[in-house]
Amino acid sequence: MRIKSVTNKAIIFDNGNKITFRYCQKDNGRSWADFTAISEWGRNRNFSENLWFKEVEGLGFYFGSNRNQSNAVFIPCYSNQTEWRGFGDVSIYYNRKHVLMVDCAMYDEASDKVALCKLLAKARDLKANAETD
């Protein structure tokens, strides 16, 4: 299966399968999975229907077709809570089945770490493209 579309609420595959999230909103903030940050490499991959998911604590999560993390897609997760109250979590769902709870760092604290993860993902994409040329 391939990714058909990406919104700020879901990754939708061409067979109708979806990755979505929910968050526990408390006070004046929220937490979210930034699906729109998915790399071009991730958008153009073929996936099996049997996806695996792994948290990267305080940053986001990976998903992929096998447990080889070098072939996984990274999705950053953020929280913009005005005060930390232990609710910076997002629940990740695959076809409405809960598959993972991700602990998100505060948005300002996470931005540098997530930028580094995006840079590493881009470097991996460039390397993968160079190997296929």
Q: Of 3-7, 82-86, 100-104, which range is least confident?
A: 82-86
Q: Of 5-9, 11-15, 88-92, 93-97, which range is least confident?
A: 88-92
Is residue 76 within 8 A of residue 117, CB to CB? The reply is yes
Strand ranges of the sheet holding 60-64, from the earlier edge strand across to the other edge? 31-33, 73-79, 60-64, 52-56
Q: What is the mean pLDDT of residues 2-8?
A: 95
Q: What is the mean pLDDT of residues 93-114?
A: 77
Q: What is the mean pLDDT of residues 15-39?
A: 83
Tell me which of 64 and 129 has the higher pLDDT. 64
Q: What is the pLDDT of residues 64-77, one digit of tens each?
A: 987 766 678 889 88
Q: What is the pLDDT of residues 79-101, one digit of tens each?
A: 876 555 555 688 999 999 999 99
Amino acid found at 109: E
> How far, in Å, CA of 110 to CA of 42, rounded?
21
Give the domain ranges of the chain. Answer: 3-132
- pLDDT at residue 133, rounded to an integer: 47
Among candidates 81, 69, 3, which has minimal Cα distance to 35? Answer: 3
User: 96 in the Ramachandran plot: left (φ > 0), alpha (ψ -120 to 50) or beta?
Assistant: left
- Alpha carbon distances (Å) from 25 to 35, 85, 124: 19, 11, 34
- pLDDT at residue 53, rounded to an integer: 94
> How far, in Å, CA of 19 to CA of 96, rounded?
8
Among candidates 99, 96, 49, 50, which has minimal Cα distance to 75? Answer: 99
> How far, in Å, CA of 60 to CA of 120, rounded?
14
- pLDDT at residue 116, rounded to an integer: 61
Q: Of 4-13, 42-51, 115-124, which range is least confident?
A: 115-124
